[in-house]
Amino acid sequence: MPKMTFVQKDGSRKEVEAPIGLSILEIAHRNGIDMEGACEGSLACSTCHIVVDKSWYGKLEEPSEDEEDMLDLAFGLTKTSRLGCQIIMTEELDGLVVKLPDQVVNWMDM
């Protein structure tokens, strides 16, 4: 089974199994990773904001316009920022490394 690594807010790394066909958000929730996902993956918030390791970013599908719009609301946006609900695990992503940002903004609670 493919694996991926989450770099958590405290800098610790957690390698987990990453079933093909699940989103990064779903994988995080299955493994107790602190990723909110307030809209439950419906692309209506930015609380599943992640920073993809630079060596992996080019292997991902391009973000949709809707994802880019939601990313504009994310705290601490970087050039390799993505939404975890929009990245679906594939065999080619075996070994993927993503970092959780220090903070997220939940506009749905405001």
- Over residues 5-25, the pLDDT tens digits come to 999 999 999 999 999 999 999
In the three-class reduction of DSSP (H, G, I as helix; E, B as strand; rest coil), residue 3 is classed as strand
> Please, which residues have CB within 8 angstroms of residue 2's CB and are 6 or more apart in sequence?
17, 18, 19, 20, 89, 90, 91, 93, 94, 95
Round the average pLDDT of the chain to a whole number and report it: 92
Q: Cα–Cα distance between 21 and 104 in angstroms, integer?
A: 25
pLDDT value of position 110:
44
Percent of the chain with pLDDT over 90: 85
Helices (H), 10-110: 24-30, 54-57, 65-71
Fold of 3-109: Ubiquitin-like (UB roll) (3.10.20)
pLDDT exceeds cutoff 60 at 109: no
